[in-house]
Amino acid sequence: MSVATMRSNLTQDDIRRLVKGATPEARANAAHKICRRIDTAKLSPKDRENADQIMRILAEDAAALVRRTLAVTLRSSPNLPRDLAVRLARDIESVAAPILKHSPKLSEDDLIELLLASSPEKQVAIAERDQVSEAVVEVIAEHGNKDAVEAAALNEGASFSDRAYETTINRFENDDDIKSAIISRSSIPIHIAEKMVSLVSGELFDRLVNDHELPPQLAIEIASGARERATLDLVEQAGKTSDPGTFVQHLNLSGRMTPSLIMRAMCLGHMNFVEWAFAELAGVPHSKAWLMIHDAGNLGLKTIFERAGLPNGMFPAFKLAIEVFHENTMDGGEGDLARFRKRMTERVLTQFQAIPRADLEYLLEKLDSLDEMNSDKTKRLA
């Protein structure tokens, strides 16, 4: 795609407007058309040289509008030469931002160098890239302005190392916006969640303890009222833990592994927790507990129930709940777990009336909360 070829494809007027356009708008329109052609056409080495020359003409235009047109049109293009990408990234914010946020031609070293010498707006653009490496995030955490650090924390594509988390928390331990952004991440390391417990309160504290896995002993302390800011549902924490064996062991050692808690887990669909709980209380491996609960008939369930030391009067409720669990398989659809929990809880409530009053009230509260959640969702979709 030589300049001559471009003349035939784009017309001589396009090239004239690019080089000699009377207004920035005219040159920008020509630049957009030419850059689109550069990005989509297959180029020979000679054509690539000619295309590079055209891009350099655009990058030197005195009008920011023309340079921004180049940056926006080729922001994700592998055909933009690296040195031009760096040059545009050092331009004014409106030109640099698309390149900083999207260009694949900027290396990790480029991004770090640019971060250390850039304005807050440019730092935010880097923090919002689809993928931000640990090394870049560490520099953002240590040297970035607040908006950039917050943008990185909100970006699931930004890879936070322990060092980045620690630096961020130490720099912004009194900033609720930053702490909220960290808590909003899909997952944070368990030791980071533990550290943040003492730094947040109110709604942030509730989100932290309800949305993230906490160390078992800390979760138990919060749930048992040792900390006076929120209540924590240990059943929901059980569903988050990456080490259910350790979690149930801590519960048992602290005297929190009650029949009521296990029954709650059953009705909320946390069967993995139930299996580990039975294994812990009965003193058998998880694999054996699983077999006795699911694949050994009523006798296997009765045997492990008794070995676990659970009250005989609750056996019919556990038996029914396990039957309901097997009947109501997950279907993989949206709101799958919520629908499953609702079916499970309704069946247990309607088919077995001897559930202890405290558990009955708990399950009814869960039903109410599920109904409210589904109602709110219906309203949003209406």
Kindly write down the DSSP assignment for every residue of 15-63, as one continuous string. Answer: HHHHHH-SSHHHHHHHHHHHHHHHHHS---HHHHHHHHHHHHHHHT-S-
Task: Count how many residues are written for the chain.
Answer: 382
Q: How far is CA 286 from the centre of its chain?
A: 30
309 φ/ψ sector (left φ>0, alpha ψ -120 to 50, else beta)? left
pLDDT value of residue 231: 54
What does the pLDDT profile of the chain (382 residues) look like in tens digits? 444 444 444 445 555 556 566 688 888 888 888 888 887 767 677 777 778 888 888 898 889 999 999 999 999 999 899 999 999 999 999 999 999 999 999 999 999 999 999 899 999 999 999 999 999 999 999 999 999 999 999 999 999 999 999 999 999 999 999 999 999 999 999 889 989 988 988 888 888 887 888 887 777 777 666 554 455 677 777 777 888 898 899 888 888 888 878 887 887 778 889 999 999 999 999 999 999 998 867 788 999 999 999 888 778 778 887 887 787 665 556 666 676 677 776 776 666 555 565 655 555 555 445 445 545 544 544 4
pLDDT value of residue 324: 78
Give the residues across from 243 on adjacent strands. Answer: none
Q: How far apart are CA 55 and CA 37, in angstroms?
A: 12
pLDDT value of residue 74: 94
Give the residues across from 132 on adjacent strands. Answer: 158
- Three-state SS at 315: helix
Residue ranges per domain, the chain? 1-106, 108-186, 244-382
pTM over 0.75: no
pLDDT value of residue 175: 95
Token code pair at residue 42: 């297959």
For residue range 207-231, what is the model confidence (pLDDT) as tens digits? 888 788 888 777 777 766 655 445 5
For residue range 257-271, what is the model confidence (pLDDT) as tens digits? 888 788 878 877 788
pLDDT value of residue 8: 40
pLDDT value of residue 7: 40
Spatial CB neighbours of 176, under 8 Å, sequence gap ≥ 6:
200, 204
Q: How far apart are CA 225 and CA 283, in angstroms?
A: 29
Token code pair at residue 360: 């009955």
Residue closest to 25 by CA, chosen among 62, 71, 65, 56: 65
Q: How many CB atoms lie within 10 A of CB 172?
A: 20
Residue closest to 315 by CA, chosen among 303, 328, 324, 302: 302
